[in-house]
Structure 1
Amino acid sequence: MPPAPRILIVGPSWVGDMVMAQSLFLALKQRHPHCAIDVLAPAWTLPLLQRMPEVARGVAMPLGHGQFGFGARRQLGLELRGRYDWAIVLPNSWKSALTPFFAKIPKRTGYVGELRYGLLNDARKLDKAKLPKTVQRFVALGLEPDAALPPECPVPRLRVPAEGVAAVRAKFNVPLPGGEGTEKVLALCPGAEYGPAKRWPAAYFAKLARNKMAQGWSVWLFGSGKDQAVAEEIAAAAPGCVGFAGRTDLAEAVDLLSLADAAVSNDSGLMHVAAALEKPLVAIYGSSDPGFTPPLNAQARIVRLGLECSPCFKRDCPLGHTRCLTDISPEQVSAQLDALLPPAP
């Protein structure tokens, strides 16, 4: 029996893509139960990897998003020599394949991408017709080149440590939802890093929040520091919301989200986190395509109008109206959310 492979995954930089990459990690563990999986990724994603039991170690990439850093990538590769048998490069950029090349990892798998034939020795051509979803493209790289496509994709499942939950409860002074005398919690994720064409209007989130609070729910607002302004706008229009946007790091956001009873989110990284936490989820799509990056959760409901002009995949609406989002009413989203939840006693 061949020894269990030591695998280095060059991971993506986006939160949602990293969540979807867990399907690859799970698939590798199914095929090679004793393999060791390390993931090379931006330092801020490491807490997310710590919530994936399949990952042995996260290796911090010493460069920011978009930085080329040839020398740093080469130096890291030299430091990693002799540690791995197989590298799988998920990003399609030329620079992302440099570190495994300089590490002299014997098998280096990835899509051809930016003409990476010299850097990858297991370069695959991407068949977008057979692999329409990002998660399928990731998982396929863990299979043999002649494997039947599309592959079966294990569903991401984040595991939140009890000590993490206890820490965020103490830090932010929140009770454990679902306990006696406490309210159910609706998590709202109104941000989207990519741009305005993926963001449902703040006023609509606020109306949804007011309706749920009137039903006795607590509403928590999540997001990064970049989402703090929109979260504050929602909180001002829906007094009583608890704002966590800009107040948490990624690990704290994951642990707090694990306490929610349901979530409503734009197509964003936190949407994929909520899905991987197995939360009843309503995902709102505007300029993006749920056929490409859907929430990987059987409980998720997708709200999308499917206008002739969408998906355009633009950061800003090229027609200037963003009807793909503004024509989705709070009542539509509320109805989808109610359909996911058990009936009130």
Structure 2
Amino acid sequence: MASPSDVHRTSPVSVSVLPPARHPSVPGGQDAEADLPRIVPRRHVGRRLAAAAALLLFAMVVNSVVRNRAFQWDVVGGYFTTAAVLDGLLLTLWLTGAVMVLGFLLGTPLAVMRLSANPVLRTLSWGYVWIFRSTPLLVQLLFWFNIGALYPTLGLGIPFGPEFVTVKTVNLLGPTFTAVIGLTLHEAAYAAEVVRGGILSVDAGQTEASQALGIGRPRTLLRIVIPQAMRSIVPTAGNMLIGTLKGTSIVSVLAVHDLLYSVQLVYNQTYQVIPLLMVATLWYITVTSVLSAGQFYVERHYARGSARALPPTPLRRIRVRLAGVRARLERATVRRG
């Protein structure tokens, strides 16, 4: 049996007693706090100078715009809510909504066809996207506006056989309807690529897992793939929506009474070009700002589950910044006291 001295020799254990840590709340705490190095925040001199220069430049631009009498702000305010301008604005909003809805309704099947294993469907979808993305929008609108020169009548009947109903193209396609057709077909080509990119962003394991569970392909696409793809689709679709809103101004060449065409009719009579163009510009900025805010909240909705915390809303950011400023003021007051 080993002796206590052998045990001590084979397994040495050293025990040291540390002095109690000093705390500012106990005696000697002030000395311990004085021994710590002072933390000095980094001074971003260059950042502050750049911010000051940017604010100065912004103030100069705002001052030049506000004090420039050539803008005729009194005229802008007088025409901003007139009936002609508001009617044009409503038509612009209606065109934007109709084209976006119809474009994605047509673009989603085109995207599915692009991803299909059927070579015929895949080729036809690729050809549609290639043609409409390669042709300028103005050319497409002018082509559809003059479609009556190629097809004076449109008929419904047996393919390659007799027609039962015929309608004259001139009576069927007015300027507004032509604008809807041209914008929708153009938008569908880009919507197809947006949807296809969103579907490809979803991990292939999701589809394989649904197939292993015996879920059909259509249900997999609608219930599993598309909801996850919306995180990638929404930002680009929001940019498309804003682009479509501004792009509807091109239908003024077809004499469609949108916002820009309504403004043009007014300044052709009054010769006040700049104020009326500012009216249209301010309305476009207002509607775009509202759509951008809506896009933020839609993106925030579909971001659930993809991140630990949702991005803060603008109001939340303002509250956090105000709370930080309040805390700094309180600390400054305590130090002075």
Shared fold, TM over 0.5: no
Between structure 1 and structure 2, the one with the greater Rg is: 2
Q: TM-score range by the shorter chain?
A: under 0.3
Q: Which structure carries more relative contact order (alpha carbon 8 Å, separation 6+)?
A: 2
Question: Hey, which of these two has a bigger chunk of helix by percent?
Answer: 2
TM-score by length of 1: 0.22
Greater fraction of residues in strand: 1
